Structure 1
Amino acid sequence: MCDKQNTVANADLPIYGSLGMTFMEFPVVSDLTMSDAEVIVAGVPFDMATSGRSGARFGPQGVRQASSQLIWEGARWPWQFALDDHLIVADSGNVLFKHGEPQTMVDNLQAHISTILDSGKSSLTFGGDHFITLPVLRAYAKKHGPVALIHFDAHTDTYSGGTKYDHGTLFHHAVEEGLVDTEHSIQIGIRTAYDLDGHPFEVLDAAWVGDHGPGAILERIHARVGDKKTYVSFDIDGLDPSCAPGTGTPVAGGMTMDCALKVIRGLQGINLVGMDVVEVAPAYDHAEITSLAGATLALEYLYVMAANKMA
């Protein structure tokens, strides 16, 4: 739910925008300033910036629903503690915006994330298509300055020729606007064409990832981001379609779920300030495996946040 003081006038609940259940059955929060939660979950049921198959507007609903398969473990393997004992998480529901007016989503999402950050918390955001990361990064840069970026994807999303609302151009705009520290940012799993000359980020392409494995990936990540405040953006199509068929632009040859989980767990010690999981499109899924993948990656990130807090 977007904070009323930061909401665009006359915004309404988008189609498919109702909450249903919360992520991991975490409590619902409506007043962010009064909550003692350290991490706030938000959903953004928006897919008007897709260039291929739409359907990611159902992503927040799918990920939350799939998280019901994860709630029964007290201390999730391989962690040796229960998350609730060390990290307070709440779910703020879905960001409100006017259906058919993308700019209201942009304004309301940025305002919502700013409210979270100004309340001394961090965010875990479920898309929606990848364009939603741009207003999130604007809020983070306003609070923290340019952040380091760890980006998992089949695509670089740095293309300059798209439209104003385009899930393939968001990191082009993020660089142009100075939202990310490109010298401390890295993209992982890329396996589509991009311009090598002048590319702003270090890239570990999918072939390199497959050949070298999680240990080498983590060495490069830690060396690249250092002690910078770091934001993680996980496009679910970074995974191979065998692990995540339910997405708008699947590309063969991606990361396995095992590799992705080991890399997320290995982010312990990095100064993590936020994460999103985007491009889950349940209509193309089978047996909820893509939604479950998104929910599992998000939960592992929360365990890393708890482990960092305990260190």
Structure 2
Amino acid sequence: MSGTPTFAVASSFMGLPRSDRSAAFALAGIPLDIGVTNRTGARSGPAAVRAASRMLTDGDHPHFWIDPTRLDIADIGDFTIALGDLAASYRLIEEQAEGLDHLLAVGGEHGITLPLLRALRRKVGAPLGLVHFDAHVDTWPDNFGQVYGHGSPFYHAIEEGLVDPRRMIQIGIRSPVQREVWDWTVGKGVTILSAQDVHALGPAAVAERVRKVVGSGATYFSYDVDCLDPAFAPGTGTPEFAGILPWQSQAILRSLAGIDFVGMDVVEVAPAYDVSEITSLAAATVIWDYLGLVGSAKTA
């Protein structure tokens, strides 16, 4: 083993030296958490995920056999937000996402996905498919009387035509939810796989279901760490009992070759509630696996 010791890796994601927006892959932190409904703290997620990512710099990805740091990739820092103003923050996020080739966003709360989808929808020119890992459907029409928040990004995304609900699949769902919200979501055509479904079906069958649902069009990947069982991801604002396991999550993602992913986010890491960086490392590893998946496709 040679090079920089793990503990001394630079503070960017995986120690990336580049910070220009022209890279084929641009990683950005979005430290927004003013739309959460339970515990705050996801604003500190980007820094924690970057710190944990040092564990992923010691060699090639052992499944895809590429070194993600050797891709055309940059860590462009954190997006600017409007302090205390959710709608203005969404506008700023959307503006800063414009012009990026392939964005990897680190939240922050799940509400950041809505402005990212708005920007990407204009770029792609058609509604996107969506692969969504979460404990929550996030299709509530409001958040305790507020229009926006981390429980409603996909309600707005469907209503605004940003995503095609018939090409949308949610994985790991298990939280309490009003029956009318569930029925509205399913009625729009969304496929929902609960955590129990994942346990019963197994990763290979889930991955095959994902491919059938999203098809061949441009697709977005959104990963809320609370999809994982809180035993393995305690550092999050809305933990839910009996989630999917890290190995299941990883096996599903690694099996999604052939899907046309055009952007992604990992959200809801709240490091104040974490234990020994395990949640931050889980989030960093999801990005690492995603880069292995899409990067190996580009270099094939």
Does 2:137 align with 1:156? Answer: yes
User: Structure 1 residue 161: deviation in Å?
Assistant: 3.3
Question: Measured at CA, do residues 146 and 194 of structure 1 come closer, stay the same or move farther in structure 2, by a change above 3 Å?
Answer: farther
Q: Deviations over 1:192-223 (max 9, x none)?
A: 22534232310011111111110010010000
1:235 corresponds in structure 2 to 224
Contact 2:16–2:69 (CA under 8 A) maintained in structure 1: no
Query: What's the CA shift for 1:28?
Result: 3.7
Larger deviation, residues 195-204 vs 159-168: 195-204
User: What SS does the aligned partner of 1:115 have?
Assistant: coil
SS at match of 2:132: strand
In the alignment, is the contact (CA less than 8 A) between 1:44 and 1:132 conserved in 2?
yes
Contact 1:236 1:280 in 2 (8 A): yes
Partners of 2:72 and 2:224 in 1: CA distance: 25
Query: What is residue 69 of structure 1 aligned with on the other side?
Result: 55
Percent identity between matched residues is 43
Pairing partner for 1:89 from 46, 60, 73: 73
Q: Give the AA of the match of 2:251.
A: K
Structure 1 residue 49 corresponds to structure 2 residue 38: no
Give the corresponding residue for 2:152.
169
Distance 2:65 2:266 in 1: 25
- Secondary structure at 2:229's aligned position in 1? coil
Match of 1:27 in 2: 17
Asked if the contact 1:160–1:169 (Cα under 8 Å) also holds between the matched residues in 2, the reply is yes
**Residue 104 (1) aligns with residue 84 (2):** no
Give, in angstroms, the shift of residue 29 of structure 1. Answer: 2.0
Q: Match for 2:61: what amino acid?
A: R
TM-score (norm 2): 0.91
Structure 2 distance, partners of 1:43, 1:239, is 21
> Partner of 1:197: helix, strand, or coil?
helix
Looking at structure 1, the residues matched to 48 and 132 of structure 2 have their Cα atoms a distance apart, in angstroms, of 22
C-alpha offsets along residues 153-199 of structure 1, whole Å, 9 cap, x if unaligned? 00000011321231001111111100001111100000022534232
Are the aligned partners of 2:142 and 2:149 in contact in 1 as well (CA < 8 Å)?
no
Deviation sequence 1:32-67 (CA, Å, 0-9, x none): 2xx3x2110010111000000000000000100000
Q: Contact 2:129–2:220 at 8 Å: present in 1 too?
A: yes
1:219-253: CA deviation from partner (whole Å, max 9, x where unpaired): 10000111010000000000110110000000011
* 1:129 counterpart = 2:115: no
Instruction: Give the conservation status (yes or no) of the 8 Å contact 1:156–1:194.
Output: no
Structure 1: unaligned runs, 5 residues or longer: 1-19
**Equivalent position of 2:3 in the other structure:** none
Runs in 1 of length 4+ with deviation above 4 angstroms? none
Is the contact between residue 12 and residue 50 of structure 2 (CA under 8 Å) also seen in structure 1? yes
SS across alignment from 1:187: strand
